[in-house]
């Protein structure tokens, strides 16, 4: 048996690509790892295809429709790649058109003396349908979504497993799994649009299709190419039409095992009606002469694909009848478990948005993701304009900073379901906080607080928190439990907004922070990056990165905690230019792991060169504290001032809105205490904010019981 039989076991497909993009299918290394794990796989595949072509799995016409239940797993990056349900359905529609000869370009199949392909173009009689019941018996629209961050790019089989940041396959005996990502790992050999795994040998836990979202479907991010049909063809057992190149051997025992697809020398991207790359005529060839290349076949690389052949239909239907898990997949007795073939009913209200975090004055578009048969929508937007809407996908503006609730009620005309997402829309202030700014994590209590600091955790596991065990200044700092994390995910500390619009362009921004870190192994290459934004986080610009020896020269295999101030490094950011002096300035500190050790951040300071009279200690001169915490009827506020100063102390609610004035006047140098009556306040989380005459701000969180 020739080795070429499995050269497409892990390959990408091509649709309408332009001439500048050369697709790549050289995944021999991957195939060899599969063969090494299962040396008999080549022979198993060959013997199975020989049985299929020999009629071993031929069956009488089905009484029930041949339906393949589908689940689509969407891996996105904070909205990038979080495609609409409409786009997902367009991919299923494409599959049903292409596999059932209902595609509009079916009429383009040639029927000439040199290319008599029209009569062998097949209707496979296979229908794909989104699952309506999930593996736990709950209603579903057949879609799972997960924020995967940077791992949604250069993706591989890791996106097929929840433990590595992706989404686990649903039971392949009942569901056909498709994973959508932003891009696919290619080892630098070109653009890969998707890849599939054959069903031969029983398949593996990675069985299914992984595909770029811009190569899936016909609307949204998609280009309308035939990558999906090509890849599903692979999953159902079809090889490339150019498999094995030119040969004169038995057509049902070599190449792609199809006698009605003429051999092709190698992958071709041409639609030339005179293209004929092989002179050999295989034994048993359907045509009996040297037919032209069948570039219209979905299993070619041509941009003119529009057909499957009858012999390809024989292989697909033979596999659906002769491979155990595929036979189970289309078994009509399982329709009740997946919901396919049953009428859709309204069972769940849900919604999504591309980005629920914006600045005041901006808009969020909401998308209904309820299922199924929704005909009426009733939205309620706390803090938004409009406050209510009956549109399917409304656009809502927010004028005031806060964390707001969104409610959706949907109906199909007969029944109604609803959902409420508390604190869904996070609206950041514009203009933002003024300078100088200092954060030593002594009073913030926890992060994210969604007022001054937000966080991002790509893998949903370890994330930045506030620890009270260590700090450069005081006993608190931001801490990331990172020892042994090796999935290259990124964790971020992200600021709220700052108003730099009034700063003189000739004035320099002074920005610094401290970190403590050691590597776990000498070969660790972990990255600390610093970004800034001048448009409220719509786009980010890298201003500094530190990694490897520069991040930390010391090595410690045990879990790391700094023991002295000598272990802290200071990072100075000196390249914030006046283009970033806006009222929506933000910064973020990003850490990327590589099987290393813990990292700590402390003393984030922002000021300007005009504020040189305030050194680092003076920026922290308010020394604000409150007690008791939690509090009941009264709260005591204490400030230990380095010098006499005018101070304005206010009370904020959990949305950052001022709900009371505590004190506004002059305080003497030294310790100052005063009491505030809380008896009329509802229970909840509040903040005391103090600002002195120099603009120094400190905020401390407390709980009213």
**pLDDT for res 33:** 60
The predicted-structure confidence for 666-704, as pLDDT tens digits, reads as follows 887 777 888 899 888 888 778 788 887 766 777 777 888
How far is it, in rounded angstroms, from Cα 472 to Cα 468? 11
| Residue 327 known to be catalytic | no
The predicted-structure confidence for 286-312, as pLDDT tens digits, reads as follows 999 999 999 999 999 899 999 999 999
Nearest alpha-carbon partner for 445 in 697, 688, 691:
688
**pLDDT for res 64:** 66
Element (H, E) at 419: strand 416-428
- Record the tokens describing residue 63, joined without a space: 């009484």
The model's confidence at residue 25, banded by pLDDT at 50, 70 and 90, is: very low
Say whether pLDDT at 39 is over 90.
no
How far is it, in rounded angstroms, from Cα 624 to Cα 642? 12
The model's confidence at residue 658, banded by pLDDT at 50, 70 and 90, is: confident
How far is it, in rounded angstroms, from Cα 5 to Cα 1? 8
More confident site: 596 or 617: 596
For the chain, what percent of residues have pLDDT higher than 70? 92
Nearest alpha-carbon partner for 99 in 124, 120, 117, 121:
124
Give the Cα-Cα-Cα angle 56, 59, 64 (nearest 5 degrees): 150
How far is it, in rounded angstroms, from Cα 275 to Cα 273? 6
The model's confidence at residue 63, banded by pLDDT at 50, 70 and 90, is: low
Which of the following is catalytic: 129, 231, 442, 567?
231
Asked if residue 209 lies in contact with residue 238, where contact means CB atoms within 8 angstroms, the answer is: no
**pLDDT for res 451:** 81
**pLDDT for res 675:** 86
Nearest alpha-carbon partner for 492 in 588, 398, 371, 597:
588
Nearest alpha-carbon partner for 445 in 219, 207, 686, 611:
686
Flag the least confident range among 553-557, 559-563, 658-662.
Answer: 658-662
Q: Give the mean pLDDT of 400-410.
A: 95
Say whether pLDDT at 587 is over 70.
yes
Overall pTM surpassing 0.85 (yes/no) = no
CA of residue 512 relative to chain centroid, distance: 31
CA dist list (Å): 591 to 161, 208, 648: 23, 33, 36
Tell me the pairing of strands 568-573 and 586-592.
unpaired
The predicted-structure confidence for 342-368, as pLDDT tens digits, reads as follows 888 999 999 999 788 999 999 999 999
């Amino acid at each position: 048996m020739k080795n070429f039989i499995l050269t497409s076991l892990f390959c990408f497909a091509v649709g309408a690509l332009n001439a500048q993009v050369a697709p790549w299918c050289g995944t021999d290394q991957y195939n060899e790892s599969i063969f090494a794990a299962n040396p008999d796989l080549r022979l198993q595949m060959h013997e199975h295809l020989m049985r299929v072509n020999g009629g071993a799995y031929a069956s009488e016409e089905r009484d029930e429709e041949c339906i393949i239940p589908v689940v689509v797993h969407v891996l996105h990056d904070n909205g990038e790649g979080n495609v609409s349900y409409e786009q997902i359905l367009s991919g299923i529609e494409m599959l049903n058109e292409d596999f059932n000869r209902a595609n509009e370009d079916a009429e383009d199949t040639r029927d000439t003396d040199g290319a008599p392909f029209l009569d062998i173009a097949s209707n496979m009689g296979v229908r794909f349908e989104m699952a309506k019941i999930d593996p736990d018996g709950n209603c579903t629209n057949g879609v799972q979504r997960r924020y995967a961050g940077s791992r949604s790019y250069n993706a591989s089989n890791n996106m097929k497993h929840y433990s590595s940041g992706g989404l686990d396959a649903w039971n392949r005996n009942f569901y056909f799994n498709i994973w959508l990502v932003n891009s696919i790992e290619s080892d630098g050999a070109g653009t890969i649009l998707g890849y599939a795994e054959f069903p031969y040998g029983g398949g593996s836990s990675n069985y299914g299709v992984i595909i770029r979202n811009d190569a899936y479907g016909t609307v949204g991010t998609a280009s309308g190419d035939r990558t999906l049909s090509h890849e599903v063809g692979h999953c159902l057992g079809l090889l490339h039409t150019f498999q094995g190149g030119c040969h004169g051997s038995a057509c049902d025992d070599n190449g792609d095992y199809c006698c009605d697809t003429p051999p092709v020398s190698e992958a071709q991207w041409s639609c030339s009606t005179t293209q004929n790359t092989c002179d050999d005529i295989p034994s048993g060839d359907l045509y009996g002469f040297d037919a032209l290349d069948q570039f219209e076949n979905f299993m070619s690389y041509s941009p003119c694909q529009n057909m499957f052949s009858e012999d390809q239909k024989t292989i697909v239907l033979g596999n659906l009848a002769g491979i155990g898990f595929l036979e189970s997949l289309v078994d009509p007795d399982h329709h009740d478990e997946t919901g396919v073939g049953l009428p859709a009913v309204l069972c769940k209200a849900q919604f999504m948005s591309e980005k629920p975090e914006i600045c005041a004055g901006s808009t969020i578009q909401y998308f209904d993701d309820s299922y199924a048969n929704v005909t009426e929508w009733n939205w309620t937007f706390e803090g938004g304009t409009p406050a209510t809407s009956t549109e399917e996908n409304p656009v809502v503006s927010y004028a005031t900073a806060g964390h707001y609730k969104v409610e959706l009620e949907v109906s199909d005309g007969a029944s109604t379901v609803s959902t409420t997402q508390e604190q869904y829309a996070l609206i950041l202030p514009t203009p933002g906080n003024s300078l100088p700014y200092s954060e030593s994590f002594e009073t913030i209590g926890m992060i994210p607080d969604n007022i001054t600091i937000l966080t991002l955790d790509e893998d949903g596991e370890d994330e930045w928190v506030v620890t009270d065990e260590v700090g450069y200044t005081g006993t608190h700092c931001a801490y990331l439990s990172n020892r042994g994390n090796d999935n290259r995910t990124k964790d971020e500390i992200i600021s709220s907004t700052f108003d730099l619009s009034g700063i003189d362009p000739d004035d320099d921004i002074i920005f610094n922070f401290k970190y403590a870190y050691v590597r776990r192994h000498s070969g660790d290459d972990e990255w600390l990056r610093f970004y800034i934004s001048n448009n409220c986080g719509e786009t980010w610009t890298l201003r500094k990165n530190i990694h490897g020896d520069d991040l930390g020269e010391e090595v410690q295999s045990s879990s790391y905690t700094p023991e002295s101030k000598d272990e802290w490094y200071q990072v100075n950011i000196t390249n914030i230019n006046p283009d970033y002096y806006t009222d929506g300035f933000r910064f973020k500190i990003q850490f990327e792991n590589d099987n290393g050790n813990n990292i700590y951040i402390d003393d984030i300071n922002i000021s300007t060169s005009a504020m040189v009279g305030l050194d680092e200690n003076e920026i922290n001169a308010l020394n604000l504290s409150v007690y008791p915490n939690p509090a009941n009827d009264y709260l005591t506020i204490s400030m230990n001032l380095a010098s006499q100063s005018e101070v304005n102390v206010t009370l904020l609610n959990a949305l950052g809105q001022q709900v009371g004035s505590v004190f506004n006047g002059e305080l003497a140098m030294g310790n100052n205490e005063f009491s505030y009556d809380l008896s009329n306040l509802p229970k909840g989380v509040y903040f005391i904010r103090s600002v002195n005459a120099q603009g120094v701000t400190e905020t401390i969180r407390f709980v009213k019981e």
